[in-house]
């Protein structure tokens, strides 16, 4: 009678450890390994922190939220919040204000953090990086009020946006009704709805 055992283990591959997840070993009665499968290759893992926020303004009694536009690998437009990498010497608040000002062109002095909203953690395979590492990222989100008069301008905006990339293809203020209809991950509208009383 053949038996199938499922295990998790590690093996060394050069100077890296290769994770073996859910390996099934087919073993005969005399404990000879006949077959095995589901062996995953070694993967680099990178931990990152970034910070940004939901930037809003009150315009004629209407609340608008600032969103950046970026083309994804499918050629579709994704809407994202302004945020960026946290330097080692910065606090999450300092990073949020700096990155928002850099990515939107809004005056730093006219940006006011109202409150901390949430910390989000997610992981993804960075196919655009050498070795396709697994990125494990923490993102700190703040509610940020803008009191200036400047029109936002996305930093590094890609005029020829025929190819996807890190550059932004647009930036605009959106009403709460418009935000509700945009499919964003994570659920940004949910965060906004919970904090609209502070705006």
Q: Which fold has domain 45-198?
A: Nucleoside Triphosphate Pyrophosphohydrolase (3.90.79)
The CATH 3.90.79.10 domain(s) of the chain lie at 45-198
What is the rounded CA–CA span in Å between residue 21 and residue 74?
30
> For each successive 10 residues of the chain (199 residues), what is the average pLDDT?
45 41 46 43 76 92 91 80 92 96 93 95 75 83 95 62 57 92 84 92
Per-residue model confidence (pLDDT) at position 155: 64
Tokens 């509610």, residue located: 143
What is the C-alpha separation between 119 and 127, in angstroms, rounded? 24
Helix (H) or strand (E) holding 10: strand 3-13
pLDDT tens by residue, 149-160: 988 886 655 444
Contacts of 60 (CB under 8 A, 6+ apart): none
CA distance 29 to 154: 66
Beta bridge partners of 37: 24
CB 112 within 8 Å of CB 168: no
């Amino acid at each position: 009678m053949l038996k199938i055992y499922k295990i998790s283990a590690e093996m060394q591959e050069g100077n890296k450890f290769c994770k073996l997840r859910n390996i099934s070993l087919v073993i005969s009665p005399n404990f000879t390994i006949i077959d095995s499968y589901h062996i995953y290759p070694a993967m680099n893992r990178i931990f990152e922190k970034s910070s940004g926020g939901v930037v809003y303004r009150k315009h004629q009694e209407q609340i608008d939220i600032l969103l950046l536009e970026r083309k994804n690998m499918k050629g579709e437009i994704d809407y994202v919040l302004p945020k960026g990498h946290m330097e080692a010497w910065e606090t999450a608040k300092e990073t949020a204000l700096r990155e928002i000002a850099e990515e939107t062109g809004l005056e730093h002095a006219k940006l006011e953090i109202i409150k901390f909203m949430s910390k989000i953690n997610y992981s993804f395979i960075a196919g655009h990086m050498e070795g396709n590492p697994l990125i494990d990222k923490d993102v700190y989100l703040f509610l940020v009020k803008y009191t200036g008069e400047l029109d936002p301008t996305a930093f590094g905006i890609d005029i020829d946006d025929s190819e996807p990339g890190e550059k932004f293809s647009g930036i605009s203020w959106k009403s709460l009704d418009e935000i509700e209809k945009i499919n964003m991950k994570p659920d940004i509208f949910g965060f906004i709805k919970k904090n609209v009383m502070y705006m």
